[in-house]
Amino acid sequence: MSGDLFPRGIIFDLDGTLVDSAADVAVILNGILRETGLAPFSAREVKVLMGEGISALIRKALRLRDVDAPEADLRRLSDRFLERYSRDPVSSTRPFPGARDILCGLAGEAVAIGVCTNKAETPARLILERLGLADHIGVVVGGDSGFGRKPDPRPLLACASRLGIPPSQLVYVGDHHIDVETARAAKVPVVAAAYGYSGAPAVNFGADRVIWCLSELPLVVHGLTEETCALQ
């Protein structure tokens, strides 16, 4: 994993990239839907709804059940979701294969590591801590951290700033087309995780590289920041 062409920093998306969390999200979402008399979704269906934060998750779920809720109801349901989810966000959530080893290896190479997610910051931190991933992660920026939500580039740029790494010297890794759009807007090289939750082929996102498992990451990011700078 060593080499002069390795990026100074790597920032990861969380759900569908570092951790497989859809089962826990589905439990909370379906509980709220049942209370409103609506049919639940499978964990596979919930994966496709994820990626844009709690409010967007609930809005999309309601619309698929032919319910167009006013903003006040969405806020109330989102608050209920966050309160319940924050109690135990890791009942079924697990790191994707290789996540711990990759983070440990990056830290051993003095690569700064961050997480930029549309998930609320509190459950994001709880997940990382309880799954043993937090030790090597220097910065966590969530959807409620005050920088907006992806695809707005501000949360990614804020994460880079807190790591002390220029955007051109880091790589963003995410599983959704939103992650690629965010990275492009921030002028950050980006790797798409094809094993994630997007529901669409990652090769079509326009990322600089695509991986099918986390163990491929060290190979594909080698030299990527230099290549991207040369093209700009």
Burial of 3 (0-12, 13-18, 19+ CB in 10 A): exposed
Task: Please enumerate in sequence order all residues whose Cβ is within 8 A of that of 129, keeping only pairs 6 or more positions apart, or say none.
Answer: none
Looking at residue 216, what DSSP letter applies? Answer: G
Per-residue pLDDT for 19 more than 60? yes
Phi-psi region of 20 (alpha: psi -120 to 50; beta: other; left: phi over 0): beta
Q: Which member of 4, 13, 88, 208 is catalytic?
A: 13
The yes-or-no answer on residue 13 being catalytic is: yes
Residue 225: the pLDDT is 83
Q: DSSP letters of 66-95?
A: T----HHHHHHHHHHHHHHHHH-TTSS-EE
| pLDDT tens profile 112-156 | 999 999 999 999 999 999 999 999 999 999 999 999 999 999 999
Q: What are 68-111's pLDDT values in tens digits?
A: 999 999 999 999 999 999 999 999 999 999 999 999 999 999 99
15 pLDDT tier (thresholds 50, 70, 90)? very high
Specify the pTM: 0.94
Alpha-carbon distance of 139 to 141, in angstroms, equals 7
| Band (203; pLDDT cuts 50, 70, 90) | very high
Task: Give me the pLDDT at residue 232, please.
Answer: 53
Percent of the chain with pLDDT over 90: 92
Strand pairing partners for 193? 211
Please identify which residue in the block is written with the tokens 């639940």.
Answer: 40
Query: pLDDT at position 31, please?
Result: 97
DSSP code at position 15: B
Residue 4 is predicted with a pLDDT of: 62
Residue 219 has pLDDT above 90, yes or no: yes
pLDDT at residue number 228: 61
pLDDT at 231: 54
Residue 58, burial from CB neighbour count under 10 angstroms (0-12, 13-18, 19+) = buried
Distance of alpha carbon 178 from alpha carbon 173, whole angstroms: 11
CA-to-CA distance for 149 and 155, rounded, in angstroms? Answer: 7
